[in-house]
Amino acid sequence: MKAPLRLPELWSDPPRWMAEAWDAEAPWGLLGAPLDELLAALPSEAIESALQPDVHLLGDRIVIGKGARIAPGVVLEGPLWIGRDVEIRTGAYVRGGCWIGDGSTVGANTEVKRSILLPTARAPHLNYVGDSILGADVNLGAGTVLSNFRHDGREIVVASESGPIPTGRRKLGALLGDGVKTGCNSVLHPGVVVGRETEIYPLAQLRSGIYPARSIVKLRQELDVVEKRPAS
């Protein structure tokens, strides 16, 4: 008999629409119908912050809250909800249906595709965030990639102690609990679930699986420093 599925603590104060649709045994389901329904109900355009001429708006149903700071060269593709006091820096590309919570940051040359960023989540430097959920106060180190697609195109399966968990999704990145921090140039492969307040070392590669809350995911490596030979 398989052990019962146990997912780590993830989000302590999700927005109401998430809390009402949250399946504790399959939280990746939030990226499906619940997100679609929320975005479909958005007005055609509701922009409460001044935008510079070289901010590019594509598609329909784009909402931008008060105090948002959108830098030149940003591309925003609807449907899209951007909360209050969000900062989106030069060269960012936000597409595919996203919900960006109040006070969040999307960094220069960062791409966010069909993802949810809870309030104060930060993807600030050269990140890729695909089909993922970032909890409140998450911080992605520079160059962190949340990969969302298998090379063979098969369904994303989450590895667990009780066996593989099918997600029903061909595209799924990472689900990061509140306060998770990733080191620079870390890569989280499709189907990673990380509990709250866990820290991930730079350059670490996390395979599909469930990583506990309040942990440190360490990368062990050895450096071989040798004497430099004189030029002949």
**pTM score over 0.85:** yes
CA angle in degrees (0–180, nearest 5) for 148-152-158: 50
Q: Into how many domains does the chain fold?
A: 1
In a domain, 70, yes or no: yes
Order across the sheet with 174-176: list the strands: 45-47, 62-64, 80-82, 98-100, 116-117, 133-134, 174-176, 192-194, 209-211
Catalytically active residues, by annotation: 125
φ, ψ of residue 31 to 5 degrees: the values are -80, 0
pLDDT for the residue numbered 5? 62
Supply the CATH number for residue 164's domain.
2.160.10.10
46, 65 Cβ separation under 8 angstroms: no
In a domain, 220, yes or no: no
Per-residue pLDDT of the chain (232 residues; tens, 9 = 90+): 455 567 899 999 999 999 999 998 899 999 999 999 999 999 988 999 999 899 999 999 999 999 999 999 999 999 999 999 999 999 999 999 999 999 999 999 999 999 999 999 999 999 999 999 999 999 999 999 999 999 999 999 999 988 899 999 999 999 999 999 999 999 999 999 999 999 999 999 999 999 999 999 999 988 899 998 888 7
Structural domain including 146 reads: 39-211
Distance CA 24, CA 18 (A): 11
In a domain, 82, yes or no: yes
In a domain, 144, yes or no: yes
In a domain, 146, yes or no: yes
In a domain, 149, yes or no: yes
In a domain, 152, yes or no: yes
